[in-house]
Structures are given as C-alpha cells and as structure tokens.
Structure 1
Amino acid sequence: MAMPLAARTALLDRGSRVMWRTLGRPVDLDGEHAWLAAPMHSGSRVADGWVADAAAALGGRTESDGEGGLLADLAALDGPGFSARSIDPMIRRFYEQTSGWRMEVWAQWNPLLQPGGEFISRAFGTRVQQLAIPTRPLDVAHGMDSTVVRILDGDGEQHAAAWLRTLRESGDYVYSGCYSVRSLPGSDRPSVHVAFPLESGNVQVFLRPRALPGGGLELVSAPGKFGQDGAYVVVRERGTHASRAPIHETFRLYVDDEQVLRTDHVLQLGRMTAVRLHYKLTPQ
C-alpha cells in the first residue's frame, strides 16, 4: 500500500531537520546562543501562523494598522562605521513605514540552478507557504502584496515585525519573515536580523548595514565563522542544533534619477549566484 501524501511530506520534512542536525552543533537558545532565539512553528504549513504565538511568548500583542515598519527606527542600527543619518530619507521611510509601500518584483535565476530552485519551491516552499522564491518571471508578473504586522512586547514597544509577502495573483506566501535589530557576539554594532519560521526550526539571516554614496543602503550576509553575519538554520530535532548555511545575500537600496526607490537583491549559493531579484518600491 502506498504511503499517504501527508506521511510522505512529514517524512521529507523530518529528514531535512535530521540533515541540518547532523551538519550543525548543539546550541542553548536560553543561554550562550540567545542571539539565535527566534520564532519557530508547530505545524508544517507556516504562512502567518507563527505571528500571534510570537507575540504571546513576549506577553504582548500584534498590531496591524497599515502604518507598520520593519524597524521602528533605522537609527537602531547606528554604531561605528554606520549612521542612519547618511541614508536617503526615502529609504528610511520604507523601513520605518513599510506598510505604506507597494512592491513590484522581477526575478532571474542562474540556468544551472533554476531546476533545483524549482524543485525546492514545489517540494517545500509552496507546500509549506514559506520561502517559495519565484523561479519563473511570470510567477511575479501580477506583482506581490506586502503586509506588515508589528509584534509588540508587554510594554507595547515594537520587538519585531512580521513581513508577509504573497503573490497577488494566487495569494500564495512567498516570504513570512520576522524582522528585528540584533547584535551578534563580539560585534561592534547591530545587524538586521530576519528569521523565517519553519516547523520545529527556522532559517535566519544576519545582515550587516553599510551606507552607500548618494544615500543608498547596502545589507550583506557575507561568508564567515559561526557567530558572525550570515545565514543559519536552526532545528529542534533531539535537542536544538544550528548550522551556518552556504547562502549569502546582498541588498542594495537606492533612489534612481526619477526619484523611484529600487532594490537589487542577489542571492548566492556558495560562490555561485543563484538568483537576482529587482524590486520597484512605490508609496501607496
């Protein structure tokens, strides 16, 4: 008798957690490795199911009033070598008032890696409604909708923000991320921290900010050691384990000659460029 589909997908998901447990190291999210503590999910379908639980864990609440930003204040990233004052005011408004912006997206995959991206998107991303990176240009032809939900702590202060991005045509989730500012061990200034909850785990990215000439902003998750900026996978599988992932991203935000805010996003797998995305961001 054939194994039911739900059982096969559950086995596939657990197999991926076992793989990352094998590649990773034990971590203590309540102690030494608290910098990796981030929302996880209890079920296989993620979407926005983790958001209310993340607020409840803080003794707080969520707030979605159309005025939320990924960061309460871009100046929270200030430190040696970076000052939010040097960033174009339009870019600051985007990060601090993200709900007020409309997004158009273009994607171009490396032909060698596109089949693998298609498999991952179908086998995991679309099914679990998380990290379903578009693999064909027409996937995003009708645009992408963006919703920001602020996650408030018990004092009513913004602890993080959930940025939920869905395909306008189908309503499928592309990204469901938790955005905040976080300092890494031994770092001289904070990084942008993004966590993508998954069942019994998450994918996390620490992005180091840099001001560009002309008021632009660059965010980079570069190769490095455990505990430095970059991408991590955290899983709960017979204990909690974390591993650096060979994924590196660069975001460059800038205002063009026609006063339009744009972003160039490059995602690399090791040394190979996997996909390039371009975002046109306009105030609603």
Structure 2
Amino acid sequence: MTAKLTEIEPTAIRMGPIRSCAAWIGAQFIYFLVWLFGKRISFDQTPWLKGPFGSEYIGDQPYEECARDEGLVVQRDAQSGGLIHEFAQMKGETFDPNLVDEKIRQFYENTAGYRMDVWAQSYFPSNIALWLLVSTICRKVNQLNFPIRALDTAKGMTSEIVLLNTPDGHRKYTGWFRQVLGTNRVIYTGFYMLGGVPLHDSLCIKVVFPMPDGNATVILRPSAGPSGEFLLSSAGSGFGDAGFYRIQKRKNVVRAWRINSLRETFRVYVDDVDVLRCDHNVRFLGLPVISLHYRIETN
C-alpha cells in the first residue's frame, strides 16, 4: 500500500533572496568541509554507512524516492510498527535488552501507537550557529528544522511512522516523519534501522537523514541504565564506530566526514509517576547546543 505524500505548504520553502543566498553559501561551506575533513569511501567497502540520499528538496519526498530506487513498498501513516522492529536483536556482549524497562521496549517496537509532547532549550553561544543553520539551509530544503525556542513547539508535533518493506514483506527501513504543527516545518525525515559497525561488537541504531545528494547519518551505541533506562550515545573511538557522519556525493565521488566534536545522547526512562520520557542532548566542541525533552504517551 502506498499512501499519498503529505501536503507541504508552499510557504515552507519560500525564502527571500538574501536568505536564499545565505543558504547556498552555507551549503557550499559544508560541502567544502566534507571534502576537506572527510575521506573518500565506497559503499562496497563501507556498507555500514550506506543509506538513502535526498534530492534538492527534502520534506517527505525521500520515502517515495527511496521506495522507487530500491524497489520497496512504502506504507505511510502506519497504525502499527516501531523504530526498531525487534528490540531483542540488539543483544550483544555490551548490551542486554532485557535490562531495559518493558515500557521502553514496547515504545520502540510500536512507536506508531504513541504521541509525544516536546520542549526545547538552546544554549548561548551555540544557538547562534544553530539559528543560522536552521533559518537558512534547513528552511530551504525543509529538513532538520530544530526548534530554537520553547514556544516553537507549543502547538505540538506530528509523529508519523512510515514502513518501507521489500516485496516479500521484510522490513528494510522504518521512517519517522515529524513536523511542527502550525508551520509544517519538518523536524525529522528519518530512516531508522539496526546495523553493525567495525569498531563495536553489538548492533547499533542507525538513523539516516537525507540531504541534497547526501545525508547525515547518526550511529548510536545502545546501553542500559541502572534503573532500566535505555541510553543511546554517538560517542565513539573513530571512523568505523558510533558517531555523526556527514556524507556527500559530488561527480560520482562520495566522501564521509565523521564529525568527532558533534555528540548526541538520548536517555529514555520511566519517571516516578510511571510516565515515559526522553532527554535528547546535542553538544558541539564540548558546548551544549540544544536539549529536547519528550513526554511520551499512548494514543
């Protein structure tokens, strides 16, 4: 079953000439950094980094584009299904899924059955760079429009699960599509999957955010907290480990930059009154950039 693409307001990508120019310059600067600090890769040799790329405009288009390019069946607005098809698959030498609270495991296996409220807090001086990024490049392509102020998400956020399966029914990707209500700005057009990396002995959660002719890939190492929390961290020892990878293709050459100074952590837990919550923190150069707090409830 293939559902119709979500309607994106045309105003979501309308930008004045000055902001459009700033977005172009910013994108070219990022491409330069990827070429300067990244390494040339072949997906035949680094299959653990392979993931969907985007076209010039992102929005929700990558789900249909990926399904077409890879021969998958896409189901929009799935009423069942989760970010992780089977939580137990992550069991390994350094992580035992059975140590994680059952409520958390249910959320990851059936994310479609939950709704979320979110609060955001950004931090000076990192929020200046974040504002520049979000208000130019992210607005132009309509992807990764992180809320800068707490009131940005006052009207709420959508949470759509998109299933992408092979014709024989095998789950290849789970998409998580989230927009800010009232503006239709896309916070996440993400593809979730489990995958191994060369420098870690257990499966990690791999999240791919398509960007024009490339993507941002975040590989998160799972662990369990002492009270049943589920902890995810992008901290790793180098290329081939957990981390944030910016991947870009130009003239049939693909380069990948593992941004060592960019770190993400998630703490998913059940609070004292039995409410499921998540703390998501991003740091760059050791400085806090943004914190997102989620309250998670069943529909």
**TM-score, structure 2 as length reference:** 0.89
- 1:21-100 to structure 2, matched below 5 A, reads 21-29=35-43, 31-43=44-56, 45-64=57-76, 65-100=78-113
C-alpha contact 1:87 1:215 (8 A) present in aligned 2: yes
* Letter paired with 1:269: F
What residue identity is the alignment partner of 2:94?
G
Asked whether 1:261 is paired with 2:276, we answer yes
Pick one of 95, 99, 116 that aligns with 1:103: 116
Equivalent-residue separation in structure 2 for 1:5 and 1:169 (angstroms) = 22
Check the 8 A contact 1:17/1:237 in 2, yes or no.
Answer: no
- Counterpart Cα distance in 1 of 2:74 and 2:106: 21
Q: Which residue of 1 aligns with 2:164?
A: 151
Deviation at 1:6, TM superposition (A): 6.2
> Which of 150, 153, 156 is 1:137 aligned to?
150
* 2:193 equivalent to 1:188: no
Within-5 A mapping of 1:207-222? 207-222=220-235
- Aligned counterpart, 2:31: 17
Equivalent residue, structure 2, for 1:242: 256
Q: What fraction of aligned residue pairs are identical, expressed as a percent?
A: 31
- Aligned to 1:80, the other structure's residue is in SS state coil
* In 2, Cα distance between equivalents of 1:7 and 1:219: 37
Runs of 4+ off more than 4 Å: 3-12
- Determine helix, strand or coil for the equivalent of 2:241: coil
2:290 is the alignment partner of 1:275: yes
2:12 alignment partner in structure 1 = none
The TM-score normalised by the length of structure 1 is 0.93
DSSP 3-state at the match of 2:223 = strand
Per the TM alignment, residue 231 of structure 1 is displaced from its structure 2 partner at its CA by 0.5
Query: Which residue does 2:7 correspond to in 1?
Result: none
Structure 1 residue 59: deviation in Å?
2.1
Give the CA deviation at 1:11: 5.5
2:173 is aligned, of 160, 184, 188, to: 160
CA RMSD of aligned residues (A): 1.8
SS in 2 for 1:94: helix
Count of aligned positions = 280
Are the aligned partners of 1:106 and 1:279 in contact in 2 as well (CA < 8 Å)? yes
Which letter does structure 2 place at the counterpart of 1:219? L
Conserved 8 A contact 1:58-1:154? no
Residue 212 to residue 104, structure 1, CA distance change in 2 (3 Å): same
Distance in 1, Cα, partners of 2:95 & 2:236:
20
How far apart are the structure 1 equivalents of 2:233 and 2:20?
Answer: 37
Structure 1 unaligned blocks of 5 or more:
none
- Check 1:170–1:162 CA distance in 2 against 1; reply closer, same or farther (3 A cut): same
Q: Which runs of 5+ in 2 are unaligned?
A: 1-16
